[in-house]
Amino acid sequence: MDTTDSIIVYRLSHTCDLSDVREETVYIGKVQGFANFGTFVQLNDRIKGLVHKSNIRTEHRERENILVRVVKIRDNGNIDLSEELIPRYETRVVERSSPAVRLSDLASKKGRTVMIEGEVSQIKQTGGPTIFTIVDESGTENAAAFVEAGVRAYPEVELGDEVRIIGEVMQRNNQLQVEVESMTVLTGTEAETVRNRIETALELRSEPADIPFLVESEVLERLKPAMKQVAKQIRKAVFTAQPIILRHHADADGICSAVAIEQAVVSLIRDSGGDFDADYFLFKRSPSKAPFYEVEDITRDMDFALKDHVRFGQKLPLIVLTDNGSTEEDMPSLRFAKIYGLSILTIDHHHPDTIVDDYLVGHVNPYHQGGDFGITAGMLGTEVARLINPSVEPIVRHLPAVAGTGDRSEAPERQRYIDLVRSEYSDDDLKEMALALDYTQFFLRFNDGRELVKDILNMTGNPERFRALKKLIAEQANDAIEEQMSACMPHVVHRDLANGAHLFLIDVEIHAHKFTFPPPGKTSGEVHDRLCRTYEGKPVVTLGFGPDFAVLRSRGVMMNIPRMVRELRDEIPGGGISGGGHLVVGSIKFVEGMRDTVLEALITKISSAGTGS
């Protein structure tokens, strides 16, 4: 079209506000409604004016386009318009001159109208407004949009969309919030620009600091790239408001590892602008009864995650496994998670099976770098926690010593971690904390006991309560152990093996108290500890068994329990054999009718293993 003699007519983009409107300028608007005294016209979603009836030239319908000249902008913000009839014109779009405000700068913009650009990470419908959680390159904040009570605002906006929001910055219940005046889903190059800007900034922001470990360790140094990768992905999940589910083995080592990461993540969520209760709906720590990610665990986790996804508009979670997640026993759950496209990270010290790495996006395991189970999950988890958020170091630095003590680590790192906190905690303190964790978690079952566990670990700033609680629980646990030992030790059966090892068997189903502390695994471990003291310097294996399971503990016998389990599974058809664990500490399951066959075959393998210190 030839525009030589055409008049310029302007269209205000949705980003413009009153400061972008000019008097004596012609704009394209839409008829919003009618009154006795004139016609209301929208210049964009945020700006409207009035054409007095004396200045209306033609008849109109609602939502119809209309050309109007700005006659006057009054001091109160009202705009006087007049209709213009222009047969030939050229349209130009007016973009707002001021750039988008970063979310991290909103605190200084309270009471002002701003434009923000970011990604929608959560959509939560309340009984009042719709709350959109927005993420940009600098932080996370909420934007509230209201149509009417309980009605979804901007239904076209979906999780993961890039949006441009204009609204007033307010403070509600001590939380910053943008009161939405307009929200537009960005597409094409605009969306790509915002997405790339956020992704580039997040990559840099999520990179953990390169800090030294708490103790010297060649294995940890070799593991550092994998640890930083895991820490980076956890940090990125926090910065993008992605929920995190942390699963851990329900013993002292697993708890210490998980609690250290929990402290780092929760504090980072709070520091990055999350809601006052964001750490409760964006982070969940759950104990696992077994030292692997059971199908029961993934089923529970997915049930909660899918409900939260539907009801609260949350993203599907990042799953972090600690003191589990490295073995074939984890595979059914890992396959389940893959169907939903979940990302899974593992921080573990069980002997790893290579197949699991096809299902993990990050894997920290000392066996990958020449170490073994002596570098415990609690040590690894605490160091990862420091990479996630270095500020938590003062409250978690003793957890590796508790974990190493509870897991009976013989790695040199254990003593280094103990020496690190020697001025604060004695050996007895560490033993009592580890035992109190085991005892308390037994009764917590599937609950995390978040605040109680922190009291046991002296993480709440109340040392008097910590001392009293730790001592009381440890005394109760020791009393329960002594009662169990007095019942079962007389029933221990001794066998000499061909390799010179002493084998001790105890049927914990019929010769130990059931459904109380200590459970079968810990009962077998306590029996083993007593026998090791009696047979000091000699190879000892303890086999605690029930109708369909056996628990193994070894000192001085060079077994490989995961390999033995795989071999027995192939060698005994109909045995229903599964299990695993560490090389010399583990468990095995089988069908009850094959118990005697499986146990005798297992004992044969133990007797053929080498012995040594």
For the chain, the domains span: 7-94, 103-204, 207-400+407-423, 492-611
pLDDT band at 129 (very low <50, low <70, confident <90, very high): very high
pLDDT at 15 > cutoff 80: no
Confidence (pLDDT) at 2: 47
- Give the integer Cα–Cα distance in Å for 381 and 249: 12
Architecture of the CATH domain 7-94: Beta Barrel (2.40)
Summary mean pLDDT of the chain: 93
- Give the integer Cα–Cα distance in Å for 38 and 301: 59
Classified by CATH at the fold level, domain 207-400+407-423 comes out as inorganic pyrophosphatase (n-terminal core) (3.90.1640)
Lowest mean pLDDT across 82-86, 147-151, 385-389, 507-511: 147-151
User: Which residue stretches of 365-420 are H helix?
Assistant: 377-388, 393-396, 399-406, 412-420
Confidence (pLDDT) at 204: 94
Q: In the chain, what is the straight-line distance between the N-terminal and C-terminal CA atoms, in Å?
A: 93
pTM: 0.82
Instruction: Read off the pLDDT of residues 459-492 as tens digits, 9 standing for 90 and up.
Output: 999 999 999 999 999 999 999 999 999 999 999 9
pLDDT at 279 > cutoff 70: no
**Is residue 212 reached through a cis peptide bond, with omega within 30 degrees of 0 on the bond before it?**
no
Query: Which residues are within 8 A (CB) of 524 and not within 5 positions of it... i.e. 6 or more apart?
Result: 506, 508, 542, 543, 544, 551, 552, 553
Confidence (pLDDT) at 51: 96
Q: What average pLDDT score do residues 342-362 get?
A: 95
Classified by CATH at the fold level, domain 103-204 comes out as OB fold (Dihydrolipoamide Acetyltransferase, E2P) (2.40.50)
pLDDT at 416 > cutoff 90: yes
For residues 586 and 477, is the Cβ–Cβ distance under 8 A? no
In 3D, which of 128, 182, 178, 135 has the Cα closest to residue 159?
135
What is the CA angle 197-141-285, rounded to 5?
100
Instruction: Read off the pLDDT of residues 57-107 as tens digits, 9 standing for 90 and up.
Output: 999 999 999 999 999 999 888 999 999 999 889 998 887 666 789 999 998
pLDDT at 429 > cutoff 80: yes
pLDDT band at 273 (very low <50, low <70, confident <90, very high): low
Lowest mean pLDDT across 88-92, 160-164, 269-273, 551-555: 269-273
Q: Please state, as a whole number, how many other Cβ atoms lie within 10 Å of the Cβ of residue 488.
A: 21
Q: Do domains 7-94 and 103-204 have the same CATH topology?
A: yes
Assigned CATH class of 492-611: alpha beta
User: Which residue stretches of 421-556 are H helix?
Assistant: 427-444, 450-456, 463-488, 520-534
Query: Between the CA atoms of 410, 413, 416 and 422, what dihedral angle is there, to the nearest 10 degrees?
Result: -60
- Give the integer Cα–Cα distance in Å for 270 and 290: 32
Query: Which residues are within 8 A (CB) of 94 and not within 5 positions of it... i.e. 6 or more apart?
Result: 10, 11, 12, 13, 16, 20
